[in-house]
Amino acid sequence: MDFTSVLVALLTLTAGIGVFLVACTMMSSNLESASSKRLKRLFNKAGGGQDGGKDSWLQRWLGVGIGTVGTAAIQSSGAVTVMVIGFVNVGIMSLYQAAAIIYGANIGTTVTAQLVALGMFGTSSISTTLIFAAFAGIGAFVMLFAKNDMTKQVGGILTGFGMLFVGLSMMAGAMDEFAALPAVKDFLARISNPLLLVLVGTLLTAIIQSSSVMTSIAITMVVSGLVTLDQGIYLTMGSNIGSCVVAMIAGWTSGINAKRTALIHLMFNTMGVALFLVAALCLNILSSGSLSFGILMADIFPHAPQMQLAMFHTIFNVATMLVAMPLTEGLVKTACRLIPEKKTVADTDNKEPHLYFLDEQMLKTPVVAVRQLKAEIENMAVLAITNFRRSLHTVKTLDYTEIEQFKQTEDELDFLNKELVRYAVMLSDKRLNRFDHQYLVTTIRTVSDLERIGDYAENIIEYADSLKQQDVRFSEYALKEIDEMQSLIDRLFDAAMQAYHKVDFAALGTANQIEDEIDRLTDEMERNHIQRLSLDICTPLAGTEYISLAQNSERVADHLINVAKTIRQLQ
């Protein structure tokens, strides 16, 4: 084979890897969008304000299931792992839960290898690779003529699936060319040291940043005869360690627990490789060199080298998970010792505003980021109504014991107003389904409404300051009306947030009725106050503040109903 043929083979291999990577990304993003609701429900089971303590075996198995199904659903263990790191970073998932999901993600990623193996059966004229590659054209036509988002997403999935095998076919062709070169085969045959092969697999995966691509390359190399099955097995084992690079990058730019999660991922995969290397050595010694993993897999799945390597990949990850499950506590403790807390007096007293449910790493999985953005907005609503309640308590009692908490919460509301708008803008650039896109359109207005509730609470605190300076208080009658107003607004808040959270139109109807009652009460408060002034029951000094308080409360109700009404745009 001349230089030109070698160059063509190299270019074909590079093109095949590129097509395969693009296909993985395309299939992953479309699967993610199409399964967004199910994916959100899946990760709802995983998150939820964990305290970081030990969890039950049932929870760990649930985590493994979530990691497996989630990765199989979106065809990206990297995306799931980065997403888990984001959950841990904002404190809504414990290290124990994160470890279990990572175990499952490693099993879920073997689906790609199984698909690749399945696609390499058949004759040279009509193979499953050719049949599956045809899906790229079918999917492209579906996308071209589709009228709705779901159909386009299905087309995108089919196109990505087909392109997967187009890339695989190109890689396999390049491998066949290299296999015809005695010099290349002799060179590769000399690389028989398991540790060296694992290192090569690790480095190549770290560069490509996809264990699925590395495993697929290994499968094509084994099928073409370029490397032996045992060599392919060790390359695949190395790909598991190399796949940790994405998680390490994501974790090391985040908080302490995110770093620990990335380290747990690395320790888990390294432990699995170490165990299998030791097992391979023992097998070789006990059989006097007559047995190896490759020989065993060839006996179990004869005449199907692609299935032999794909099945080893699955067995390796399942076995590693079974070994790691009872060792989870040790892995977590080791990670905590290696990356200890760095608490200082300043850290202990740090009350800086922060996001509770969001992390920028989650942008890599947009459908989950949307769900977390909604949780952040709902938390902002709780902060806003809490400050409103504090303001009413202060103006009624002139008790300022909660004023520092009030100021801190107001700072948080201002911070969230800016950060959530910024996050929503970044998220709007991602690939989303129609429902999530429409939801994002409403978020900026919703965040503004909630921030305005905080502003009205500040106004009411100012009325309390004025009353205190003038040494006057509201009458008993006025206080009863304020209590009635607070009761109605509390009911409105509950109904509005139920409507917002569940897209519940019945709750929206209830919220509208309560808002009408608040409008009626506001008018009544103004009339009653004027009457009390004429009867000298209330002092004129408190008059202006009382009327303003009633009007500000009514505006708080308006902003709450605005939040609830956003669900009309999600129909």
Confirm if 511 and 496 have CB atoms less than 8 A apart: yes
Q: What is the pLDDT of residues 302-352, one digit of tens each?
A: 888 889 999 999 999 999 999 999 999 999 999 999 988 765 444 444 468
Q: Nearest Cα to 22, choosing from 141, 163, 150, 118?
A: 163
> Could you tell me which residues come within 8 angstroms of residue 369 by beta carbon, excluding any fewer than 6 positions away?
358, 362, 363, 423, 427, 430
pLDDT of residue 344: 45
The alpha-helical segments, DSSP class H, found in 429-539 are 434-470, 476-502, 505-534
468 vs 371: CA distance, rounded Å: 44
The token pair at 248 is: 């390490």
* Positions in the chain whose pLDDT score sits under 50: 49-52, 344-350
167 vs 165: CA distance, rounded Å: 5
Q: What is the pLDDT of residues 161-200, one digit of tens each?
A: 888 888 878 887 888 777 777 777 788 888 889 999 999 9
CA 4-10-14 angle, to 5 degrees, is 145
pLDDT of residue 538: 64
210 vs 110: CA distance, rounded Å: 12
> Could you tell me which residues come within 8 angstroms of residue 101 by beta carbon, excluding any fewer than 6 positions away?
46, 63, 64, 66, 67, 70, 80, 84
270 vs 277: CA distance, rounded Å: 10
pLDDT of residue 89: 74
pTM of the model: 0.71
Q: Which CATH number fits domain 360-570: 1.20.1260.10, 1.10.287.130, 3.90.1170.50, 1.20.58.220?
A: 1.20.58.220
pLDDT of residue 539: 66
The token pair at 473 is: 């208080």
Rg (CA), the chain: 31
120 vs 404: CA distance, rounded Å: 67
pLDDT of residue 94: 83
- Residue 348 φ then ψ, to 5°: -60, -40
pLDDT of residue 202: 92
Q: Nearest Cα to 22, choosing from 218, 206, 168?
A: 168
pLDDT of residue 471: 83
| Angle, helix 305-324 to helix 256-286, in steps of 10 degrees | 120
Q: Nearest Cα to 497, choosing from 384, 381, 390, 369?
A: 381
CA 528-532-536 angle, to 5 degrees, is 175
pLDDT of residue 78: 73
Q: Nearest Cα to 203, choosing from 235, 169, 167?
A: 235
User: Which burial class, exposed, middle or buried, applies to 281 when counting CB atoms under 10 A from its CB (0-12, 13-18, 19+)?
Assistant: exposed
Judged by DSSP in three states, 62 sits in helix
Domain limits, the chain: 3-338, 360-570
277 vs 194: CA distance, rounded Å: 8
